[in-house]
């Protein structure tokens, strides 16, 4: 089976699996009912992201068998991703207290870090920083924050899907640019591309106006999978860790800015809300599609070129990160990230 056939099969299976999950959700009345904290106005089935979990997890052992991915990295992605997905699936079907969700998320994060060899050294302005035991703590916090911010940012039609596709395709292109046919990178680009293909199959159902939502199982799975991939590649090409952080900039900046703003205002940061910049923007523009496809434009024409320069070592990673994030911070302020709905104006 050629690579292109494999990707076509992944897209197809994800598409049909999402359709089956939609029928299941409708039959079990697993619906997101609009309320004061929602960004949608029509009751919509949820839990479609399980298709992404199912397909990507199913292909990972195959990639290990053909030496695209080591078994250690495979079990890191599988174990951490499935733990987070199960917690999310449980929460989608009922309610899991925040403290138990957080505990499970940290267990998944430490599992992944143990199997990939821990937090890789960071390079800033040509200096290597080995973080030792502190790196394990920071790495776990990074993974837990990334999976949770992905859940927070999955609030309008298609936005979490297009972000994952852009990050994965961008990350794969960087593997290709940095590597060579005979290097450790030779087929490593295939891992994020397979994840992107699984999301594409789901996106057919999730594009605005969405026929099904991703749910906590899918969004959390994507968040921690992207985080683990960013750490795995950093062990081989340290500058690509910064590149992946740059590619994730839209979600990182909006979610982090909103969390900080709400924390200092005294809000309960773990409660659902609709005060992210992208949610304010969706209300201002009156439709989700404008914001969702703007994320694609930002990723392709702003974040990827900077990530590319960092990948080629033409730009220091930390400097590139600051450069990439500054306009995103401006937009977070412009669209009132963290402010209550009454402040949704520019």
Binding residues for Mg(2+) are 151, 216
Q: Residue 106, CB half-sphere, CA atoms under 13 Å: how many? A: 9
Q: Measuring CA to CA, how many Å separate 210 from each of 181, 288, 340?
A: 40, 10, 25
Binding-site residue numbers are 151, 216
Tell me if residue 299 falls in helix, strand or coil.
Answer: helix
Alpha-carbon dihedral 91, 95, 96, 99, rounded to 10 degrees: 120
Strand pairing class (127-129; 122-124)? antiparallel
HEC readout, 60-96: HHHHHHCCCCCHHHHHHHHHHHHHHHHHHHHHHHCCC
Distance from the Cα of residue 247 to its chain's centroid: 10
């Amino acid at each position: 089976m050629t690579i292109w056939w494999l990707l076509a099969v992944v897209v197809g299976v994800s598409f049909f699996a999402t359709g089956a999950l939609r029928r299941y959700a409708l039959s079990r009345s697993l619906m997101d009912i609009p309320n004061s904290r929602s960004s949608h106005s029509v009751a919509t089935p949820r839990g479609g992201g399980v298709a992404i979990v199912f397909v990507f997890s199913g292909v990972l052992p195959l990639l290990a068998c053909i030496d695209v991915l080591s078994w250690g990295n495979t079990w890191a992605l599988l174990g951490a991703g499935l733990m987070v997905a199960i917690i999310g699936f449980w929460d989608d079907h009922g309610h899991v207290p925040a403290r138990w969700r957080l505990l499970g998320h940290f267990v998944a994060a430490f599992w992944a870090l143990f199997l990939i060899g821990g937090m890789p050294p960071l390079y800033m302005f040509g200096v290597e920083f080995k973080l030792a035991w502190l790196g394990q703590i920071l790495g776990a916090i990074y993974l837990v924050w990334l999976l949770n911010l992905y859940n927070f940012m999955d609030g309008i039609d298609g936005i979490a899907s297009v972000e994952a596709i852009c990050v994965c395709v961008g990350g794969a292109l960087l593997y290709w640019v940095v590597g060579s046919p005979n290097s450790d990178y030779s087929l490593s680009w295939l891992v994020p591309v397979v994840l992107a293909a699984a999301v594409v199959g789901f996106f057919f159902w999730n594009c605005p106006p969405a026929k099904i939502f991703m749910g906590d199982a899918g969004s959390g799975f994507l968040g921690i999978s992207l985080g683990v991939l960013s750490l795995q590649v950093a062990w081989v090409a340290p500058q690509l860790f910064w590149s992946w952080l740059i590619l994730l900039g839209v979600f990182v900046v909006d979610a982090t800015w909103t969390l900080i703003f709400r924390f200092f205002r005294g809000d309960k940061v773990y409660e659902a809300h609709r005060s992210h910049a992208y949610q304010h923007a969706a209300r201002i523009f009156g439709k989700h599609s404008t914001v969702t496809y703007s994320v694609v434009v930002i990723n392709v024409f702003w974040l990827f070129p900077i990530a590319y320069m960092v990948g080629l070592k033409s730009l220091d990673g930390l400097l590139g990160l600051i450069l990439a994030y500054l306009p995103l911070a401006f937009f977070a302020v412009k669209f009132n990230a963290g402010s209550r709905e009454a402040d949704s104006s520019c």
